[in-house]
Chains A and B, each alone.
Chain A
């Protein structure tokens, strides 16, 4: 009981004072935990400790998933499941009712396929650029820079903003009478309606989402970079290895676990993109920035005579795609790890 020993001069350190209530709490739960352990055995304790987490997961993830699946098998505009009629796979059939999947106009639910196509393009571009920018930024911030903490804060700051604020800020910059056009006009250029242009508005959604979230992923990669032992680089330098080779042979393989986490997180978030885009472009012009989550929201909630069954079916499909993508990536990651271990 080291903490009980007074320091020289008779005082206690701050840490010891803080630990007093912690020790009290631990001694209070000690007896009941021992009782539980006697009942369940040591093996059962793992289940006991996991139970609260599993319960929360079950209530807030699994149960809604099954309810959502049940909704996808029903039709009509009623909100409550018991009031809805069972239609089997009709909602899925409606979503897949297409002559040519690459031409949304040939589909019964053309906006669904437009949203799928937009989301696919968004994911490809956003994930690639996000990984690239986050990695480059992390590599730069990992070097001995002047005011390094300041730059780290600068890149992380947008992560602290709410997506609605992010959307509004960029709307004020990009709209017809926005900051960007004001600047262009000042430089003698004609103002341009960025958000009315299909390509520019799409590019804006990609760019804004990268700006808003890059700091978080940079931080994860930076932590990975700092965990790589410095002596590996020193050894490589002594062997005359060029920096590019050191990056491909040392940095990237050792950063792979962090990179994999980042890829999975970025991918999931990209497929789920909604809030900042909803504020920035509202899905327009036309449907050029309508992504799958907005389609689900509008089908299930925002339109008059909404169709919760169709929205549920679309969200089940989106969930399935996410699961497949995540499993593929995790599989590839494990394969890479095994390969690395064999070497």
Chain B
């Protein structure tokens, strides 16, 4: 009996010691579109050298893990200590308030205040984290294909119809399978919806039924998929609201015009290299305006962390001006930091196309509509995006008419609002 007790005591001590060893661990869930994971690792290695008591573990995962598995972990009161997330507002109840923990809350308010509301519960002044990048949705054209086809690249004020016509001409001339492609994403559909005069937000702040502006673009879009102007592959390649990008088709020179966003710039710079020339075009115009969508990925602290002080130290480090500047310059991301933006950036690339593309997106940010700026901080954005993707892809696959899809989008969103109890 005495022997058993001794063994149990040893086991308990062992367990306690192992828990104590975890005290300084800070786990980050991170996804990458390009090289940002490597850059972050490098920055974190430096942090750990300066702070030997804190062990930062970087878990590189795919975007779908962040989108599909992280929410479940958070609901269960688990998850990493810090996460890189795009669905910021809808999960705001899970983020840690860093205000009492960070070294200088005024610094955070001053430099990241513009987007702070995107990631905190409505009505609070919580500091949940900061945007690792600001993204602007917009288009990319394969310049080499345009040149070879002898078709002029549409100008700054070109409409969606102008782009469709030109891209189709180029694809036919160059025997390329896809004239245009738009990521399978509700966020991406929303830019042109707004440009066509759409507005998702009702007077009561809840989702409004689809209006004529959105319907007009969606009808056009489904028509383009049907006649081959828009790539069918991306939109019919899954059921439900699963995200699919057409970046690989663009990189492989199979696509004339690709509507995605600024986060693709480093990806294209690395993978396209000198294979062909490409340009960023901003967002095509609709009847109402030439807006794209803004958004981005935020780095947020999770409130279920066991080490809030260590988490705050890591966040303070990553949000510091020199680190944000270095991270943005090396990853070719547009930063959210007001001070860094004011002082300017020297993007670390020899690729003139990438530099020009980044400037084009900075320019495009000036044409963002008010609705586009509101959506990232709106609680129901993802409910609308999910319904849009699910039903528009069914219409694109010929399973239902566009009008049936519209009716389903409205009822899906209404059901989601009802289910959420809000």
Residues of A within 8 A of B (CB): 75-80, 85, 105, 110-111, 176-177, 193, 195-196, 198, 281-290, 294, 298, 301-307
Contacts and interface: CB of A to CB of B under 8 A. Distances in A.
Contact of B394 (A176, A195, A287, A307): A287
A281 B236 CA distance: 9
Given A110-B408, A196-B232, A304-B383, A76 B421 contact: yes
Given A196-B237, A305-B419, 14 more contacts: A76-B420, A79-B75, A105-B400, A111-B239, A111-B390, A176-B177, A176-B233, A198-B397, A284-B393, A285-B232, A285-B236, A298-B241, A306-B71, A307-B419
Interface in B370-403: 382-383, 385-386, 390, 393-394, 396-400
B408 A282 contact: no
B239 A287 contact: yes
A286 B393 contact: yes
A286 B239 contact: yes
A185 to B, nearest CB: 13
B72 A75 contact: no
Contacts of A304: 71, 87, 90, 241, 382-383, 385-386, 416
Interface in B271-296: none
Interface in B82-100: 87, 90
A198 B416 CA distance: 29
Which 10 A/B pairs are nearest by Cβ-Cβ distance? A283-B239, A286-B397, A282-B238, A285-B236, A79-B75, A304-B382, A286-B399, A290-B239, A285-B397, A298-B240
Given A176-B233, A196-B233, A305-B90, A77 B420 contact: yes
Q: Is the interface of B mostly helix, strand, loop or mixed?
A: helix
B386 A303 contact: yes
A80 B238 contact: no
A306 B71 CA distance: 10
B76 A282 contact: no
A306 B233 CA distance: 26
How many of chain B's residues touch chain A, expressed as a range?
35 or more
Contacts of B72: 79, 301
A294 B252 CA distance: 31
B242 A282 contact: yes
B241 A288 contact: no
B38 interface: no
Given A76-B420, A76-B421, A110-B408, A195 B237 contact: yes
29 contacts: A76-B420, A79-B75, A80-B75, A80-B76, A105-B400, A111-B239, A177-B254, A193-B232, A196-B232, A281-B237, A282-B239, A282-B244, A283-B239, A284-B236, A284-B238, A285-B232, A286-B236, A286-B398, A287-B394, A287-B397, A288-B397, A288-B399, A298-B241, A304-B87, A304-B382, A304-B383, A305-B416, A305-B420, A306-B71
B68 interface: yes
Contact of A302 (B75, B242, B393): B242
Given A110-B408, A198-B397, A304-B383, A285 B237 contact: yes
Interface in B153-206: 177
